[in-house]
Every structure is written in C-alpha cells, then in structure tokens.
Structure 1
Amino acid sequence: MGRLSLHQSGCYGRWTEPGRTGTHALRPILRGTFDRLPGLTIILGHYGEGIPYMLPRIERNFPPYFTGVRREHWGPIRANFYFAFGGWNWPYMFEIVRRTVGVGPILFSTDYPYDPMEAGMRFLKLIEVSQDERELIAHGNAEALLRMWPRRWEC
C-alpha cells in the first residue's frame, strides 16, 4: 500500500476547515450584516479560524469604502464574535487573540476527539492571565453569553 493523499487520509478536512469556516465568518462582516443586526453574535472555534491573525490584511484588502460597510472590520470582530480555544493550545496564538479582542470574548473549549480535555485544562492553567481573567475564560464568558446560572469552578 502506498502513501495516502490528504483526501484519502481524512486529513484534508482537518487542514482546510479553519480557512473555510473563517471565510464564511467574514461574509457577514463584509456584507454589513452587523450594521443591520448589531446584536447578532457568532461563536467561532480555533481562535476565530484565523480571522484575528489576518485582521490587518483583511482591513487592507477590504476597506469600508470598497465593501460599503459603515465601520472598520475590527468593530464586529470585537463586538459580535466570541472565540473558543478549540484545541489550539499554543500561547503565542492565544496572545494574538487576547491582544486583538481582550479576554471578554474568549471561551474555553477543546477539540474532542482530536485533543483531550486534559490538554485544554493544562493550557488554561499555563496561559499568562490573572486568576479573574482565567475564570472568565474558563466559564464566566460562556455563562454571560449563554445566560447560564453561574457555578463555582476550580480553574
């Protein structure tokens, strides 16, 4: 048996999914959807599927005068999106998202079955944030967003 292609191995979807999902998430931003529906909220996995990393390029290549939207693209990114870890447990990636949007829209998550819960918990304890920020990321942000009753968790 020879080598399997990306398609045959099932890895192609795992490689391309963040890019495709990020592209779909950009569409409502570039179409001005959040100008018309300012209360709309979208939760993205994998730290926003690359959008926070690409934001300077998005701003340069799709300026508001070109797309017709009323505000800069980072406006909806900061106001209408939440970003879950999604198993991307790398400090430098977390730091880019934190610097772009703050800790308010960051949600703890794993990417089961690809990444176990234990890896996510280790990463949550590793990131350089205050204990209050860690509590927000671990559960507080999700509780507020989903209007859940707060529970006492140990982070």
Structure 2
Amino acid sequence: MNIIPFWLAMSMTTAAQAFCFNEAGAIYQIDPKLLKAIAQQESSLSAREVNINRDKQGRVLSTDYGLMQINSIHIPKLQKMGVIRNQQDLLNQPCLNVKIGAWILAQHLRECGVNWACLGSYNAGFHPRNEKKRLRYAQQIYARYWPIVSGDRRTP
C-alpha cells in the first residue's frame, strides 16, 4: 500500500491551488495574489463552501458557491454559455470556480475601472446604496492582499 504523507498531500494541494490562481490571473489579466486574497475572504479557501444569502425577513435571496463564492445569479448565464452544467460544478471543480470568479471580477473592473472601490463590487454589486459595503469589502481584501504581496505571513 502506498500512503502519501499528510505534509506532502497538503503541499500538492497548495501547488495545485497556486496553479489555479495563476492560470485564472493570466487569462483575465488579474494579479493571482489578488484572486487568492478574494478567495481567502470569500471562503477561507474552502472549495466546498456554500453560503445562503437571506433578506431581513429570512427569505433566501441567493446562494454562493465554492472558493470564489460564485453567486447563483450567474448560474443561468454560465449554463447557457456551456461553462457549467449545474451548481455542483462550482463545488466539484475548484479551478473552474476560480476562473469564473476572475471572469466576474474582470467584467466588474471593465465596467467601473481598476480601483479598490470597483473591486468591492465583486461582493456588494453596483447599486449606489452599497457604496459603504463596497469600500468595506475592498479594505478587507486589501488587508488580505498586502501580506501576500509583501511577504508578511501574518494573516488578518
């Protein structure tokens, strides 16, 4: 029986993860470290993370899936484009999830510019009433991004 040591299995996961962020970043011209910071914020790098978004009355508004927490609002378009079959693809294919997140972010940056406030639209959308939420999200991403790019291994 061939057993892979835990530390080796973990390093392969990290290498595979780095490849996913690098590949998605190259495709959409986004810093892979920024994509990783977003995934840290969105899912704590958990490929199987699912979050249900509810209104103040507790009604389900949407669901977020995977590493990049792809919102269910995108599923019909992704299906029509032939990118996914269903929401399970967003959980079962982490690299695809990262690429879709990068694609969504790239669309946002084209719409409102390459700046931190626009980056916040990845989480808070474009509605004017969400400006504070966009800025707060951008600050959270920056707090995760800076240690990655500066080499400071402390996490927020």
Normalising to structure 2: TM-score of the pair? 0.28
The structure number with the bigger radius of gyration is 1
